[in-house]
Amino acid sequence: MERSLALLLRLIGTLAIIHIVQAQSQQGFISLDCGLPANEQSPYKETDFGLQFSSDAIYIQSGKTGRVQPNLEGRLLKPYTTVRYFPEGTRNCYNIPVEKGRNHLIRGWFIYGNYDGFDLKPKFDLYLGPNLWATVDLQAEVNGTAEEILHIPTSNSLQICLVKTGETIPMISALEIRPMGNDSYLTKSGSLHLFFRVYLTKSEKYLRYPKDVYDRQWIAYFQKEWTQISTTSDVHNINDYDPPKDALATAAIPTNASEPLTIKWTNSDNPNAQYYLYRHFSEIQDLQTNETREFNMLWNGEVMSTDPVIPKKLDISTIYSQSPRICDEGKCIFQLIRTNKSTLPPILNAFEAFTVIQFPQSETNETEVIAIRNIEANYGLSRINWQGDPCVPQQFRWDALNCSNTDPSTPPRITSLNLSSSGLTGNIAAAIQNLTQLEKLDLSNNNLTGEVPEFLGNIKSLLFINLSGNDLNGTIPQSLQRKGGLKLFRQGNPRLFPSESPTISTGKSFPVVIVASVASAAILIVVLVLVLVLRKKKPSTVQVVHPPPSRPTMNVPYANSPEPSIEMKKRRFTYAEVMKMTNNFERVVGEGGFGVVCHGTVNGSEQVAVKLLSQSSTQGYKEFKAEVDLLLRVHHTNLVSLVGYCDEGDHLALIYEFVPNGDLRQHLSGKGGKPIVNWATRLRISAEAALGLEYLHIGCTPPIVHRDVKTTNILLDEQFKAKLADFGLSRSFPVGGETHVSTVVAGTPGYLDPEYYQTSRLGEKSDVYSFGIVLLEMITNQPVIDRNRRKSHITQWVGSELNGGDITKIMDPKLNGDYDSRSAWRALELAMSCADPTSARRPTMSHVVIELKECLVSENSRRNMSRGMDSLSSPEVSMVFDSGMIPRAR
């Protein structure tokens, strides 16, 4: 009977304990007993394996400590009896020094042990830096679990973060980090997540340090169809991998010599996983002169190498994957089959299998991370969310910061630092000069002293400095005064002057003091007059003005304003002009809850769509004004542009550019004679719509959430370019505020983010959820909600179909199978991750854009290679995306 190897990963503290007397070097090992008080026997030697453990307290600044229930302590090794748990904050991170560029084994232990007495087993996410590593689910693994990965850090500091995703509290028992050999476990890309590591023996022994010099953990594994062989001789085990000699001293052969040695497993959680395999062989039998052992390795029935394997006598041979391998619908079969010339059956001593985890998001520029941590230390700041990577993921970005993060493959840079009213004392921190991409710096309303440093003028990108409300002295440096376009706020610093210092008395006679004082006053008056004159002109140097409001807002409440802005006046049409441009509303091209949409022309040639707000419309004046305000400020090729508006008494209308090919929903259903778009065109449309959303989320200041993303709001122009429409429900938020803010729940049923619906807290990830539903529509052409379906919501229906592993039952039958299955699977996985019920687990729109572009590349490669390509009525797919420099909304 097949035995599931996946179960072998469930390592818990109740594993059989073996006593070791041998001692080896632990150089480079970091072994943390999480939750152990720093003053309680730290460090100490764990007696069973001889490992040196210490408290985790110096590596983390948050969390509380606990201990498993007394009845469990005797069953666990000492390092796993304490826990550190995190009732406060969303992301709590360890900051551990490592060797940059070297492969490391990183292992976390999680044993709940009812430490809090509530018997509420937690479920949470585990991150390495800005990237998701694993989900720890102790509701499923009731006895505890371990997560292990082989990872090459890109900096000298490793961030291991526990992220709260629900109501339960993240916790950890132990952290173990081991530097590996430089030439071992290499991949083409990504890191290696341990799936299983076994040595083949009937023994129950569990091997780790010091038997294994890297403290890998080897589980004993055997099947009834096998026969064990062993040796008492010393097996030479020195190669790049150094498996334990004890793991090589035993091996398995098939009992029936003519049968293959087979190892099977099923990965239903990740059927598309990529695997790297490491197979360790050693000939431990004494062969007679007429005996031969050689065999081939097969993966899912296919021979893996042209050369057969011939194990070396009492010497290690490790064969590993040069490239990752995949399984058939998550069902993996590895086999060893003897060749025709072999007289002996195949042999296997030990086996390791890893799945590939891609970590696409780069960490923040290392120099800037060091700088911001020095600033934190300089001012003694203690903020619960100043943990982990400062900039990414975006939903965990440190408060007080803004960052550039348009390309995940490029390290983000810090562009804004706001430490206003933070209780800062002392001088302006020198580390600020290392934030070389800084555009805005706000140090107002603190107790800073000393002079304004010269280096601020050398930060080329810096355009805004607020130093008001401190006790700075001296003069503004020449480097700042010469800096064109800079806005400097300095009020509330009575000893800080904008130019050369006034004359100061140094023990002169009384008349001289009076003259000096008068001269000083005269200079100040001249300076003030010059400032007032200069303020009337366009500033070419530093502009000294009064402090602005804390944050600008985008959604100006025009309904309460007596006079619209100049921009609004310029775009304003009278009702008579609207009637003329539509020829008395002659041609109706659409209709919705707001009213009707009519075709029109402006200036005799420019085609427009006129959206008329009816008296019975569900969209009110507030939404109308919001859409006008927003569309006058945003400009992107994948957003419908506003030509103008009408606000005259009861007559409200929005005049858009005309988008002639209707909406995406029509082209999925074929309604109204619209052509069915092919798979490549669907991928391009989805990527372009994603670019529009990405611009709203990270290209606008403040960020904007659309709130009503759906297929009927994705319009197609004459070239089938996607344009996102209908911004009546959109909202913008102050930069630097919380990721989510309270708001009245609004949106379309089926597309509405369930987390937003339950909590009334809105964020960019709410759009990501809706976009995931749009992707599922494009993939399946199924209704979002169908009460006649066994699973009424599209996510439930797709989830149930995924269990079968047959993508053809999920894909739109109108595509007639004309699609690249790899791009289809990838798009489907992306859609389901976007539609994850937990917002923290959804990708950002920037990540979505990258994934969709790569799907499109895969599909276009297939189409270009196919000679019998059908000529479809929809336009050719273009790989040109308008994603370059776009003006930011203000």
Peptide bond into 557 cis (omega under 30): no
In total, the chain counts a number of residues equal to: 890
Q: Which helix (H) or strand (E) holds 824?
A: helix 821-834
Token pair in block for residue 573 = 């049409």
Distance CA 398, CA 385 (A): 6
Q: In this structure, are strands 171-172 and 487-489 parallel, antiparallel, or unpaired?
A: unpaired
Mark whether 471 is an active-site residue: no
Token pair in block for residue 763 = 């964020």
Closest CA to 795 of 747, 748, 833: 833
CA 864 to chain centre: 32
User: Could you give the C-alpha distances from 621 to 246, 704, 748, in angstroms and in order?
Assistant: 77, 19, 19
Distance CA 436, CA 431 (A): 10
User: Could you give the C-alpha distances from 859 to 255, 413, 683, 688, in angstroms and in order?
Assistant: 47, 33, 9, 16
Radius of gyration of the chain (CA): 33
Q: In this structure, are strands 331-338 and 295-299 parallel, antiparallel, or unpaired?
A: antiparallel
Query: CA 733, 735, 739, 742 torsion: positive or negative?
Result: negative
Distance CA 801, CA 797 (A): 6
Helices (H) and strands (E) in the chain, counts: 15, 47
Closest CA to 686 of 629, 768, 601: 768
Token pair in block for residue 372 = 């911001």
Closest CA to 843 of 769, 737, 756, 754: 769
Token pair in block for residue 593 = 């809850």
CB-based contact 840:165 (threshold 8 Å): yes
Grouping H, G, I as helix, E, B as strand and the rest as coil, residue 879 is: coil
CB-based contact 543:486 (threshold 8 Å): yes
| Residue 71 CB partners (closer than 8 Å, separation 6+) | none
Q: Is 723 annotated as a binding residue?
A: no
Query: CA 528, 531, 532, 533 torsion: positive or negative?
Result: positive
Q: What are phi and psi of 761, to 5 degrees?
A: -110, 125
Q: Which of 708, 726, 767, 836 is an active site residue?
A: 708
Q: Position of tokens 């390795």?
A: 297
Q: List the beta bridge partners of residue 228.
A: 252
Q: In what order do the strands lie in the sheet with 302-303?
A: 261-266, 331-338, 295-299, 302-303
- DSSP string computed for 687-717: HHHHHHHHIIIIIBSS-EE-S---GGGEEE-
DSSP state, 779?
H
Distance CA 44, CA 46 (A): 6
User: Could you give the C-alpha distances from 356 to 70, 186, 394, 432, in angstroms and in order?
Assistant: 39, 11, 24, 38
Q: Which residues are annotated as a binding site for ATP?
A: 611
Q: Which residues are annotated as a binding site?
A: 611
Give the catalytic positions in this structure: 708
